[in-house]
Amino acid sequence: MKRIQDIEKLSIEELERIGADESIPVPADLQVRLPRRKAAKAWSVAATAAIVVGLGGFAASYEPAPKDTFEDPYLAYAAVERAFSRMSAGVNQAADKVAEAEEMMDQLNYWNK
């Protein structure tokens, strides 16, 4: 019987010739178990985990669409207008602050001259 070290020394052609030789009997109780590569196993675990976490995350973050507050588009538009009025008040507040600061800077510049 050949040892592993002997087999590893054989060339591809020799291995092919031995493989094609049907006169060599194959033991009935031969069981070949190919080793699974560690990297492939890790990536299959990662892929499974990614799918599970992804699906779980989607399910957790899924929110049903709320019901429209208005059925009439005119009322909806009026609500948007009111919201813009509120925003306008905020923008004006900021603009007033900028104007105050500009006035102060002008006064400082005047006294520095």
**Which residue is listed with tokens 């009026």?**
78
Residue 18: which residues within 8 A CB-CB, separation 6 or more? Answer: 10, 24
Closest to another protein by CB, 95 or 104 = 95
Instruction: Tell which one of 7, 15, 18, 49 touches another protein (CB under 8 A).
Output: 49
The pair of three-digit structure tokens given for residue 75, joined into one six-digit string: 């009322």
Calpha distance 50→106 (Å, rounded):
61
Residue 70: which residues within 8 A CB-CB, separation 6 or more? Answer: 76, 79
**Which residue is listed with tokens 């009935």?**
28
Instruction: Tell which one of 7, 45, 105, 108 touches another protein (CB under 8 A).
Output: 45
Instruction: Tell which one of 24, 60, 109, 111 touches another protein (CB under 8 A).
Output: 60
Task: Kindly state the smallest distance separating residue 2's Cβ from another protein, in Å.
Answer: 37
Where in 67-106 is the site for another protein (CB under 8 A)? 67-70, 73-74, 76-77, 79-81, 83-88, 90-95, 97
The pair of three-digit structure tokens given for residue 4, joined into one six-digit string: 């592993």
List contacts with another protein (CB under 8 A): 42-43, 45-46, 49-50, 53-54, 56-58, 60-61, 63-70, 73-74, 76-77, 79-81, 83-88, 90-95, 97
